[in-house]
Chain A
Amino acid sequence: MSDRSTRVLLIEDNPGDADLIRLRLVESSSPVDVSCARRLSEGLESISQMRPSVVLLDLNLPDSQGAETFRKVLAKAPDVPVVILSGQDDEALAIKALHQGAQDYLVKGAFGRGELDRAMRHAMERQALLRSLDMSRKQQLEFKNRFLSHVSHELRTPLTCIHQFVTILLDGLAGEINPEQREHLNTVFRSVNQLGAMVRDLLEASRAESGKIRIERRCVSISDLMHAAVGMMQAIADDKGVGLEMSVDGDIPYVHGDPDRILEVLINLIDNGIKFTPENGKVTVQAARVQADPDFVFVSVVDTGCGISPESRSLIFERLYQESGAIDDGRKGLGLGLYISKELVDLHGGQLWVASEPGQGSTFSFTLPLYQLEKLLAPVITSEGRLRSNLMLIRVDLRPNAQPPRATWKEVCRECLELLSHCVQPDRDLVLPPMAAAGAEQSFFIAASTDAAGAEVMAARIREQMEKMPELAASGTANASAFPVSIAEVDSSSPLSQKVQAVAARMSTMMRNSSTVAARHK
Chain B
Amino acid sequence: MVSVVTEINPIYLREETQQKIRSSFLNSEFPALILKDFFSTKFYTELEQKISSLKFKKEVAVVHHCYAVSSFTLSSKYFSAFLSLVTKKKMNDLCFTAYCLTWKDYLILHDRYLEKPGLDIIIDLTERWNSDWGGKVIFTDGEGTVYPLEPARNSIALVERKKGLNKYIQYLNHQAKDRKRILLIASI
A, B in one complex: no
B interface with A by C-beta (< 8 Å)? none
